[in-house]
Structure 1
Amino acid sequence: MCEPFIRNHEYNFIKKQADYVLYALRTVGDPKVLESVRLNAQAKVAELFPDLRDHRRTMLESISDLRTAEDFQKYLQALEPYLIEFPAITNKQIQKLFPKNKKLKLPDLAQVDFRYVSYLSWIDISTNKMFIVYPAAGGQFVGLEGRFTANNKKSYCFACNRIEELALFSAVSKKRPANASPDYYKSVGNYICMNGHECNKNMTDVSSLEKFIDSVLG
């Protein structure tokens, strides 16, 4: 039985390294350069899981031995049973994350493949709001609700660092300075993918998303 140990963003990172090697195989004629690309990909993948010492490490490091597009496809498919799914969540749990929103529009959880999710997001066009749910440390979920403003152009998403169609997500910060007045208000915003599914496919690091969540929730 496979024990999952690869998170979605880590799988995407491995896939990105595999793409680099495959591209080099197709375009690089110098064997030394090609070998350097192979070993670099192998080292970067190994760095994701420094404590692995069993067959899983061998499996991951075999990225340097692949030769054809079919080899790479089989390599990535072999990793899929080891993917850690986004923690199970129900509509009731989501509603509790946004207690002030009595008419909360809920995502269609039945349509989500949670193996490939780092964060859950959806948009309510009727209220121009975006909602984000993220599994924080300790097994607890956190929820962000913010104003959604379409950007109508492609640029870099702060969460996945890829060029996509973006929206400005603006949320009210819960952080309050000492001795703040009762009417203190601060909005925290950043540009994020309009399509959460594509963003999750692109993510290779969750640190920017976690930093943004912390800037809102404290």
Structure 2
Amino acid sequence: MVIPFIRNHHYNFIKRQADILLQALRTVADRKVVESVRSGTEAKIIEMFPDITDDQKQLLGAISALESTTDFHKYLGSLEPYLAKFPRVTKDQIQKLFPKNKKLKIPDLLSIDYRYATYLNWIDIASNKLFIVYHLNGQFVGIEGRYTPTNKKSYCFLCNRYEELALFSAVSKKRSANSSPDYYKAFGNYLCLNGHECNKNMTDVEALEKFIHTVLG
């Protein structure tokens, strides 16, 4: 029985480690160095799964024995049945996350390949807003904010890859008891202009979850 346990960001991390190992196999002549890279690659991948079973460890650890480009393609393909999909979310659930947006434009949820999604995001061009939906601690959470393309490339705060960026600015829902009614505090960060590419690049969720906690409290 196949039990999915590899999330999108895990899979992206594994692919990146596979690229590093394959590059070492192609360019490094010293076998001791290659074997060091092999063992290090396997260890880094296994470390992502603290509750891993023996069968899962064997599945992932097979990377240390790969030799050719074909081997790596087959290895990555063998992991796909174990990808844990982003939980299915309905339009009603999304609407409840953004109750003040009565005319919220929700993307076509049936067109999304949830295997390769760490988070969902879409842009409402009319309001110039970006919406993000994430599954955190067993429930869906949503944040929204102003979305401003920068026409520049730099490092995305979510995936840490060099991409075309936009400034995302979200208003925090945290406020002190004695704050004035018109008080607000916004938090901004630069993220990928293309959310699909960002999901392809994600290898860690720490920055995303930290930002969500900052905004939602």
Residue matched to 1:149: 148
Normalised by the length of structure 2, the TM-score is 0.97
Cα RMSD over matched residues?
Answer: 1.0
For residues 59-78 of structure 1, the aligned pairs below 5 Å read 59-78=59-78
Unpaired segments ≥5 residues, structure 2? none
Superposed CA deviations along residues 162-191 of structure 1, whole A, max 9, x for unmatched, are 011111111110011242122211111101
Residue matched to 2:202: 203
Residue matched to 2:34: 34
Normalised by the length of structure 1, the TM-score is 0.97
Residue matched to 2:183: 184
For residues 70-149 of structure 1, the aligned pairs below 5 Å read 70-137=70-137, 139-149=138-148
| C-alpha deviation, 1:85, in angstroms | 0.4
| C-alpha deviation, 1:144, in angstroms | 0.7
Q: Which residue type is aligned with residue 203 of structure 2?
A: T
Using a 3 Å threshold, how does the CA distance of structure 1 residues 31 and 162 change in structure 2: closer, same or farther? same
3-state SS in 2 of match to 1:37: helix
Q: Which residue type is aligned with residue 51 of structure 2?
A: D
Q: Which residue type is aligned with residue 211 of structure 1?
A: K
Superposed CA deviations along residues 97-151 of structure 1, whole A, max 9, x for unmatched, are 11111111111212210001010001111211100000011x2111111000001
3-state SS in 2 of match to 1:126: coil
| C-alpha deviation, 1:59, in angstroms | 1.2
Superposed CA deviations along residues 66-121 of structure 1, whole A, max 9, x for unmatched, are 00111001101111111110001011111111111111111121221000101000
Identity of aligned residues (%): 68
CA–CA distance in structure 2, aligned partners of residues 12 and 191 of structure 1: 21
Residue matched to 1:57: 57
Q: Which residue type is aligned with residue 164 of structure 1?
A: E
Q: Which residue type is aligned with residue 215 of structure 1?
A: T
CA–CA distance in structure 2, aligned partners of residues 134 and 7 of structure 1: 13
CA–CA distance in structure 1, aligned partners of residues 16 and 203 of structure 2: 8
Aligned residues: 217
3-state SS in 1 of match to 2:200: helix
Unpaired segments ≥5 residues, structure 1? none
CA–CA distance in structure 2, aligned partners of residues 76 and 87 of structure 1: 22
Q: Which residue type is aligned with residue 201 of structure 2?
A: N
* Superposition misfits of 4+ residues, deviation over 4 angstroms: none
| Larger CA deviation: 109-118 vs 177-186 | 177-186
Residue matched to 1:193: 192
CA–CA distance in structure 1, aligned partners of residues 53 and 198 of structure 2: 32
CA–CA distance in structure 1, aligned partners of residues 171 and 155 of structure 2: 23
| C-alpha deviation, 1:55, in angstroms | 1.6
